[in-house]
Structure 1
Amino acid sequence: MRTSRFPAAARPPAGRSRWLAAGITLATAVASVTLASITAPAQAAAAELLSQGKPAVASSAENAGTPASAAVDGNTGTRWSSMFGDPQWLRVDLGSTASVTQVVLRWEGAYGRAFQIQTSADAATWTTIYATTSGTGGVQTLDVSGTGRYVRVYGTARATAYGYSLWEFQVYGTTGGSPGTPSPTATSSPPPGSTTIPNPTTQSLEATNGPLATGTYTVPNPSGYKAGTVTYPTATGSYPGIVLMPGYQGTQSNLSWLAPRLASWGFVVVNTDTTTLNDDPDSRAKQVQAAGTQLLSLSNASGNPVSGKVNGTLGVAGHSMGGGATLVTLRDDSRFKAGAPLAPYYASSSFAAVTAPTYIVTCQNDVAAPAATMGKVFYDSMTKNEKLYTQYPGDHLCPMTGNGNKAKQGKYLVSFFSRFLRNDSRFSTFLCGSERDADRNNTSLITAWADSCPF
């Protein structure tokens, strides 16, 4: 049931890469810059080129001819190019901890408008050392300061309809200490997001609770929606936020099973009540966005348990009309980077404008929001994003508290949000790898499956 990653119509014209390559080659010739003459700029003369020839991994590749390794091979005639969606990333393993002082990005014509440069000691927890929302393309030389074994460029907004494409990703610095190494006494507490999520297993993902202890907090004076309860990890660190939205005539109890499950895997979750029980999906979408705004505000304020807990990334999940609201939010509000519509109900049949990763859950015997006219149609209409589709046994209530197989539903929802809100590739195997196959092939557990793997 796997669908093709992108339809032929979404692929670039056959001559685009050659045309852009020719343009870059001409520009390179005019500037008299060749690989042999590329060195660290004068202000970083003491630094070494650390990334060339080192192992590289990417979130995706446009095709077999544009692998991650092509961006660190020292050849400005080869390139890495991602699939056509946000976010995307390219990571290089420097082999040992290094002080990073400069990064050079040699973009092809498909460049990043908004991106970050991040470092990590373990390729799981990342520290941002540079960020922009106004990337210029071409050759960008970025003076930075950070330490880590792994360095990545993490793109959140493309400048073109294509993916991200780099002729070279060059990391300069030194190994074995300064310059650029922060003092070990510079901070008295772990940096935001430092809490380590342990390696996931089938057993741990199917358990009711994840590895982190959680607390709850009632939103004071909710703005733009009726009520909200925040469930959050009590451990030190900051995490992505997720808004939960119930369906028609529903309340927070609809998805009360999901809030602590997600929070215990490293998310700050606000479970909401709607202004009225009859609110339509568009009204619910506005309430999702209002709840997201207030969650960020609570994190930015002092004197509450959520202070400093949200890292600025948002996701959304909703049931029925809340699922329709999820789709509308992903289409209309770029702050929300991933979403999971659960048995989604909406009158429109197309969400082709959605570019954020989307996981649609449907129920086999749903007569209120049949997959054949809603959920699967919404999934098929999307051509610009990473996407996943599963159908479970049961009626319209199958994703709600007290219904359906929560071990399986929880495993895939946690894995999806971990992969796309935290960029944690350790969860990919449960979505696209061997760990999923036993469930996908068992129709008593999952009655339909589609995806845009690999991701």
Structure 2
Amino acid sequence: MRALIALATTIGLALTLLTAVAPPAAAADLLSQGKPATSSSTEKASTPASAAVDGDTRTRWSSTFGDRQWLRVDLGANATISQVVLRWETAYARAFQIQTSDDGTAWTTIHSTTTGTGGVQTLDVDGSGRYVRIHGTQRGTAYGYSLWEFQVYGSGTGTPPGNGIPDPTTASLEAANGPLTTATYTVPSPSGYGSGTVTYPTSRGSYPGVVLMPGYQGTQQNLRWLAPRLASWGFVVINVGTNTLTDDPASRGRQITAAGTQLLALGNTAGTPVSGKLNGTLGAVGHSMGGGGVMAALRDDPRFRAGVPTAPYYPNMNFSAVTDPTFFLTCQSDAVAHGNTYAVPWYTSMSQAEKLYIEVPGDHLCPMTDYGDKAKQGKWIVSFLSLWLRADTRFSPFLCGPVRDADQNDTSLVTRWMDTCPL
């Protein structure tokens, strides 16, 4: 008996040692945070789909009050999915599925339940795909569905395809148009703003949306040069006309938000030319009072993730609360909105944001159609928005490092340059 006890003890000790030294299972990566997100609906502008993948447990997505609703995240490339964590607000799903897709159209269910509990649910799953969504079929409350965070874990199997966008070069970025073919669409019934023309890539894929806002007495002509440039590099662009030519910056900020809301709605509406082409991420570019409006949209609307205020104008306003990436493009001889008056103080006060400031020769009109060096301006704006709205790091060398230096050090081209490099 003593021998058996000794043998058992020896075996137990050996097993304990084997367990102790066994390597831990490989940790899964958080794949969803900061990626483009879309949804079947949103309850209000302050609860967008993007809030469920922003890593901030103080912001949330919430749907309208109906049973069949979904939230989708685009991981950018096919990935192996091993775990999904749902951090519910009070409004949770009693019945739902977790589904994956390679193309955002055909879906495979990798988890299904009719007894959801709300709270924090950690689901071990086994699946793969570029797109992952939660599809709610029965609410647990009288409200809709609401998630503080929708977290997808796993391992990537490739690099983001970039929706067919080739590697950028100085020559291609300074050309009048990028690599994608584009088309235009006139918004039939603008809601909350005066008029809208959408320029979009005709190729298959989903892209960030960008709102273009003119300045005082301006029209869509102001930034018409920029719409096809951006669209041909993988953006769905709405060029906006204001309610009146004299709308102030605060009004222009609200109209940027309204145009963004309608652009996303058009992307979610079957039969429109941009149906399925919006990935839920928004940015904005504006001139003069429109640039002030861009700053207001970045401050007030969490759906806007990056902005380019050009020659921005907004008297007596503090934008230190803006935390999104912001590119200030100003004009050296601007007697209306010189950088020292508005953009530089805002730039200096924004301690939590990635920032770029470029001053170029010219007066207040230098960012407008038919003024200034559009090859360089276009290269910088396309690169900035590609980096911060699509997380496409192939564009970062044109903003930081040796490739950028040729522009930064050319005093005939740039009269002042500030940034938060390295990116």
TM-score (ref. length: structure 1): 0.63
Q: Does residue 420 of structure 2 align to residue 452 of structure 1?
A: yes
The residue identity in structure 1 corresponding to 2:419 is D
Verify the 8 A CA contact 1:102 1:145 in the aligned structure 2. no
Query: What pairs with 1:88-107 in structure 2 (closer than 5 Å)?
Result: 99-102=80-83
Deviation at 1:432, TM superposition (A): 1.0
- Which residue of the other structure, out of 386, 399, 418, is the alignment partner of 1:418? 386
- Residue 230 in 1 paired to residue 230 in 2? no
CA shift digits 1:68-101 (9 cap, x unpaired): xxxxxxxxxxxxxx9xxx9xxxxxxxxxx97443
* Secondary structure, counterpart of 2:366 in structure 1: coil
Q: Which residue is equivalent to 2:128?
A: 146
1:166-207 deviation digits (Å, cap 9, x = unpaired): xxx98479x9xxxxxxxxxxxxxxxx9872210000000000
Partner of 1:312: 280
Residue 26 of structure 1 aligns with which residue? none
SS in 2 for 1:195: helix
* Aligned counterparts of 1:263 and 1:272: Cα–Cα separation in 2: 15
* d(CA) in 2 for partners of 1:275, 1:386: 32
Q: Is the 8 A contact 1:228 1:270 kept in 2?
A: yes
| Mapped contact 1:281–1:322 kept (Cα < 8 A) | yes
Are 2:242 and 1:250 equivalent residues in the alignment?
no
Q: 2:344 aligns with which of 357, 367, 376?
A: 376
Following superposition, the deviation at residue 144 of structure 1 comes to 5.4
1:358-377 CA-partner distances (Å, limit 9, x unpaired): 00110000010011111111
2:343 is the alignment partner of 1:361: no
Q: Is the 8 A contact 1:193 1:237 kept in 2?
A: no
The CA deviation at 1:102 is 4.0
Which runs of structure 2 are paired with 1:287-298 in the superposition (5 Å)? 287-298=255-266
Deviation at 1:443, TM superposition (A): 1.0
Judging changes above 3 Å, is the alpha-carbon distance between structure 1 residues 50 and 220 closer, same or farther for their aligned structure 2 residues?
Answer: same
CA distance in structure 2 between the aligned counterparts of 1:422 and 1:402, rounded to whole angstroms: 28
Code of the aligned partner of 1:145 = G
The verdict on how the C-alpha distance between 1:222 and 1:51 changes in structure 2, with shifts beyond 3 A counting, is closer
* Equivalent residues of 1:194, 1:237 under 8 A apart: no
Distance in 1 between residues matched to 2:346 and 2:173, nearest whole Å: 27
Q: Which residue in the other structure is 1:432 paired with? A: 400
Q: Which residue of 2 aligns with 1:209?
A: 177
Contact 2:101 2:128 in 1 (8 A): no
1:289-321 CA distance string (max 9 Å, x none): 000000011111011111111111100000000
Task: Give the structure-2-normalised TM-score.
Answer: 0.68
Whether 1:282 and 2:250 are equivalent positions in the alignment is yes
Measure the CA separation in 1 of the matches of 2:219 and 2:79: 50
Name the aligned partner's letter for residue 101 of structure 1. Answer: S
Greater Rg over alpha carbons, structure: 2
Q: Is the 8 A contact 1:255 1:271 kept in 2?
A: yes
Shift of 1:390: 0.4
Unmatched 5+ stretches in structure 2: 1-18, 35-54, 60-77, 86-99, 103-109, 112-118, 131-147
Shift of 1:433: 2.0
Letter in 1 for 2:82: T
Task: Provide the secondary structure at the position in 1 that maps to 2:171.
Answer: helix
Which string of whole-angstrom CA distances, capped at 9 and with x for unpartnered residues, describes residues 257-292 of structure 1? 000000000000000000000000000111100000
Equivalence map 1:335-414=2 (5 Å): 335-414=303-382
- 1: CA distance, partners of 2:384 / 2:371: 20
CA contact 2:224–2:239 (8 Å) conserved in 1: yes
Query: How far is 1:218 from its partner?
Result: 0.2
Report how far residue 142 of structure 1 moved. 5.4
Distance change >3 Å, CA 254–CA 143, structure 1 → 2: same
Question: Residues 257 and 301 of structure 2 are in contact (CA less than 8 Å); yes or no, is this contact kept in structure 1?
Answer: yes
CA distance in 2, matches of 1:270, 1:142: 41
Aligned 8 A contact 2:81 2:125 in 1 = no
Q: CA 1:172/1:261 → structure 2, altered by over 3 Å: closer, same or farther? A: closer
Confirm or deny: 8 A CA contact 1:50 1:170 kept in the other structure. no
Q: Which residue of 2 aligns with 1:29?
A: none
Identity of aligned residues (%): 59
- Cα distance change on mapping 1:99 and 1:441 into 2, 3 Å: same
Amino acid aligned to 2:324? A
